[in-house]
């Protein structure tokens, strides 16, 4: 049974082609690896220096002179976590909002939102720590770790795309995505003056990216096209060319469907509209 469980998890993470499961899997595996190193080292030496060193290699520094020597951390920081609750809440929100995101947009757009949100969070973090005088003393040692900026990008993107989409939260009940995203954004603004200002600033960067991306997408500009694979050149035989028309709905139709969902909910869609949305969401 355990073998079946691990086989199922392995398939979902590495073979299903679902980037949501892949990113969650990478985050969890990195966290478990570092924690196992910490446990083994503690049992034999009473120290956790090696695990802290590994964590530091994933963490992105705010100090600009140090960044060229740890250039990989601009990406790796968004797959590392410092603490059980840190990764638990990030992965839960990524799973819940990521599923909603992928119901209406495609895999490439999800990958872009996660990675670009993380990069935007990194940029906000670095700029803030190198511009505002309050961070001068902590600048040489300040580092950023966690997927929160990427998760905030997914949350903000989903809320911008489907502001009136309602999810049910324990002890609270139904909450529209626009209010959920707004509460998180306000909490991060307040958190800048708290104990983790760097994290709050990075979250804001991710949220801004998610919001702007969907607004540009609604205006017909898909930033995720930078991840699109180039089409290979095909040889066409001489003779009467065969004209093929795409059965995929165009962006204008999709926008109309999304507007209808925002106003009346997903259940208000006709069978044809659901089919058009499904085809568009699976277009790479």
Give the whole-angstrom CA distance, residue 123 versus residue 67.
12
Tokens representing residue 6 in the block:
């691990």
Question: Which stretches within the chain are classed as H helix?
Answer: 2-10, 19-45, 49-58, 73-76, 84-104, 107-131, 148-161, 177-191, 197-218, 251-264, 271-281
Instruction: For residue range 46-66, list pLDDT tens digits in order.
Output: 999 999 999 999 999 999 999
Consecutive H or E run containing 143: strand 143-144
Res 232: pLDDT: 55
Res 236: pLDDT: 52
Residues 182 and 266 both lie in one domain: no
Res 244: pLDDT: 43
For the domain that residue 24 is a member of, what is the CATH number? 1.20.1540.10
Instruction: For residue range 33-51, list pLDDT tens digits in order.
Output: 999 999 999 999 999 999 9
- What is the total count of domains within the chain? 2
Res 168: pLDDT: 86
Our measurement of the distance from residue 151's CA atom to the centroid of its chain's CA atoms, rounded to an integer in Å, reads 4
Q: Report yes or no on 27 lying in a domain.
A: yes
pLDDT: which is higher, 243 or 266: 266
pTM: 0.82
Residue 80 confidence (pLDDT) above 50: yes
Tokens representing residue 226 in the block:
């930078």
Residues 133 and 219 both lie in one domain: yes
Query: Which stretch, 203-217, 223-237, 270-284, has highest mean pLDDT?
Result: 203-217
Give the whole-angstrom CA distance, residue 82 versus residue 57.
13
Give the whole-angstrom CA distance, residue 256 versus residue 226.
25
Residues 178 and 107 both lie in one domain: yes
Residues 260 and 193 both lie in one domain: no
Residues 26 and 167 both lie in one domain: yes
Structural domain of residue 198, as residue ranges?
A: 2-223
Residues 6+ apart with CB under 8 A from 121: 78, 144, 148, 149, 150, 152, 153, 201, 202, 203, 204, 205, 206, 209
CA-to-CA separations, 141 to 60, 68, 74, 190, in angstroms, rounded: 10, 15, 16, 23
Res 171: pLDDT: 78
Residue 26 confidence (pLDDT) above 80: yes
Residues 71 and 114 both lie in one domain: yes
Lookup result for tokens 């139904």: 174
> In the predicted model, what is the mean pLDDT of residues 114-141?
97
Q: Report yes or no on 235 lying in a domain.
A: no
33-37, 68-72, 85-89, 264-268: the lowest-pLDDT one:
264-268
Q: Report yes or no on 236 lying in a domain.
A: no
Res 10: pLDDT: 83
Residues 37 and 76 both lie in one domain: yes
Residues 161 and 62 both lie in one domain: yes
39-53, 85-99, 163-177: the lowest-pLDDT one:
163-177
pLDDT confidence bin for 12, thresholds 50/70/90:
confident
> In the predicted model, what is the mean pLDDT of residues 181-198?
95
Residues 149 and 275 both lie in one domain: no
Q: Report yes or no on 188 lying in a domain.
A: yes
Residues 135 and 275 both lie in one domain: no
Q: Report yes or no on 237 lying in a domain.
A: no
Q: Report yes or no on 267 lying in a domain.
A: yes
What is the DSSP pairing of strand 143-144 with strand 60-61?
antiparallel
Res 246: pLDDT: 44
Q: Report yes or no on 75 lying in a domain.
A: yes
Q: Report yes or no on 240 lying in a domain.
A: no
Residues 117 and 40 both lie in one domain: yes
Give the whole-angstrom CA distance, residue 221 versus residue 233.
25
For residue 263, give the 3-state DSSP assignment. Answer: helix
Res 273: pLDDT: 74
């Amino acid at each position: 049974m355990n073998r079946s469980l691990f086989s199922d998890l392995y398939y979902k993470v590495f073979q299903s082609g679902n980037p949501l499961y892949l990113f969650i899997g990478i985050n969890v595996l990195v966290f478990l690896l570092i924690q196992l190193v910490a446990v083994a080292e503690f049992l034999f030496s009473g120290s956790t220096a090696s695990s802290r060193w590994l964590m530091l290699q994933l963490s992105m520094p705010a100090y600009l002179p140090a960044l060229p020597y740890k250039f990989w951390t601009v990406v790796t920081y968004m797959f590392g976590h410092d603490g059980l609750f840190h990764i638990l809440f990030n992965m839960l929100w990524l799973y819940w909002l990521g599923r909603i995101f992928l119901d209406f947009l495609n895999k490439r757009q999800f990958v872009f939102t996660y990675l670009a949100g993380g990069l935007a969070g990194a940029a906000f973090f670095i700029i803030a720590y190198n511009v505002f005088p309050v961070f001068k003393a902590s600048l040489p040692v300040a580092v950023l770790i966690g997927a929160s900026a990427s998760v905030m990008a997914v949350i903000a993107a989903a809320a911008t795309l489907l502001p009136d989409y309602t999810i049910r939260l324990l002890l609270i009940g139904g909450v529209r995505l626009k209010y959920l995203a707004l509460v998180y954004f306000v909490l991060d603004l307040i958190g800048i003056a708290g104990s983790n200002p760097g994290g709050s600033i990075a979250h804001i960067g991710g949220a801004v990216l998610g919001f702007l991306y969907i607004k540009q997408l609604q205006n017909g500009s898909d930033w995720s096209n930078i991840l699109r694979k180039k089409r290979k050149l095909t040889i066409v035989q001489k003779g009467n060319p065969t004209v093929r028309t795409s059965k995929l709905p165009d962006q204008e139709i999709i926008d109309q469907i999304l507007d209808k969902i925002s106003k009346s909910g997903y259940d208000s869609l006709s069978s044809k509209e659901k089919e058009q949305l499904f085809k568009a969401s699976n277009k790479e």
